[in-house]
Amino acid sequence: MRFDIVSLFPEFVAQIAAHGVVGRAGERGLLSLHGWNPRDYAEGNYRRVDDRPFGGGPGMVMMIEPLRAAIRAAREADPAPARVVYLSPQGGRLDQRKVRELAALPRLVLLCGRYEGVDERLLQAEVDEEISIGDYVLSGGELAAAVLVDAVARLQDGALNDAESAVQDSFEGDGLLDCPHYTRPVEHALGAVPGVLLSGNHAEIARWRRQQSLGRTWLRRPDLLDEAALSKSDRALLEA
């Protein structure tokens, strides 16, 4: 999968491609990340990319032309069709379902705003979708783009090692929260590992994990249960 990041600070997002799962996915040829700086497409000695808002008020607004040229250059850099996403607090909220949808695409062009945001006309003309990473305001879209790239990259086939398989993660598979995890030592001042995990009885372990997932989801995110794929015995456990 190819990611093109349109940003005044593309190296910010590129950092994520240097580490961990995303870095490894890059090394395995599963994804590539390319930065496009609108300043490189701006005119004049000062290579200006922002200007004052019409109507007055604080802050600056990112101008149409440098962004449009950068987005177009990114689009033309590869023949595969690209979805252009503007990271914005006003977009649809990013969740694992959206991440799965995006992970199936061949390409994403991610537009990162700064200042008060981007001239609305550019958004209307060039952007396919706006995505928010939560109901709070960041000073720029780069962190949001990094979050999106990380979540999408780990779903590329072959990005995760078996031990990190995404299937059992929260929101994946049946839509529940993940169960708790433990590692050595068995005994510690903070507590002991639940005995069932040491039993070697795979059916019992699976049952315990399922109970834990159900219980946690019920306690922490009961809203997820409405859409979770629950069996009869899951329902019995929840009603007990």
- Select 35 or 117, whichever has its Cβ closest to ligand SAM: 117
Long-range contacts of 23-32 (CB under 8 A, 24+ apart): 24/159, 25/153, 25/154, 25/156, 25/158, 25/159, 28/158, 28/159, 30/1, 30/153, 30/156, 30/157, 30/158, 30/159, 31/1, 31/2, 31/3, 31/153, 31/156, 31/159, 32/1, 32/2, 32/3
Site pattern 139..168 for ligand SAM (x: CB under 6 A): xxx--x------------------------
Q: Is 141 annotated as a binding residue?
A: no
Q: Which residue is nearest to ligand SAM (CB)?
A: 113
DSSP-based three-state secondary structure for 223: helix
> What does the alpha-carbon distance between residue 87 and residue 92 come to, in Å, rounded to a whole number?
10
Residue 169 falls in the annotated catalytic set: yes
Q: Cα 158–163–168 angle (5° rounding)?
A: 90
Q: Is 136 annotated as a binding residue?
A: yes
- Least distance to ligand SAM from the beta carbon of 193, Å? 38
Helix, strand, coil percentages in the chain from 3-state DSSP, rounded to 5 = 40, 20, 40
> What does the alpha-carbon distance between residue 85 and residue 98 come to, in Å, rounded to a whole number?
12
- Least distance to ligand SAM from the beta carbon of 54, Å? 15
Choice among 68, 154, 174, 234 that is catalytic = 154
Residue 124 contacts ligand SAM per CB under 6 A: no
Helices and strands of the chain, counted as H and E runs: 9, 9
- Select 116 or 178, whichever has its Cβ closest to ligand SAM: 116
- Select 116 or 169, whichever has its Cβ closest to ligand SAM: 116
Choice among 65, 78, 89, 172 that is catalytic = 89
- Select 102 or 144, whichever has its Cβ closest to ligand SAM: 144
Residue 93 contacts ligand SAM per CB under 6 A: no
Residue 112 contacts ligand SAM per CB under 6 A: yes
Residue 89 falls in the annotated catalytic set: yes
Residue 68 contacts ligand SAM per CB under 6 A: no
C-alpha Rg value of the chain to the nearest Å: 22
Query: Considering only residues 113, 123, 175, 228, which one is a binding residue for ligand SAM as defined by CB under 6 A?
Result: 113
* Catalytic (active-site) positions: 89, 116, 154, 169
Question: Known binding site: residues?
Answer: 113, 133-138
Please give the residue ranges that form the binding site for ligand SAM (CB under 6 A): 87-90, 112-114, 116-118, 132-134, 136-141, 144
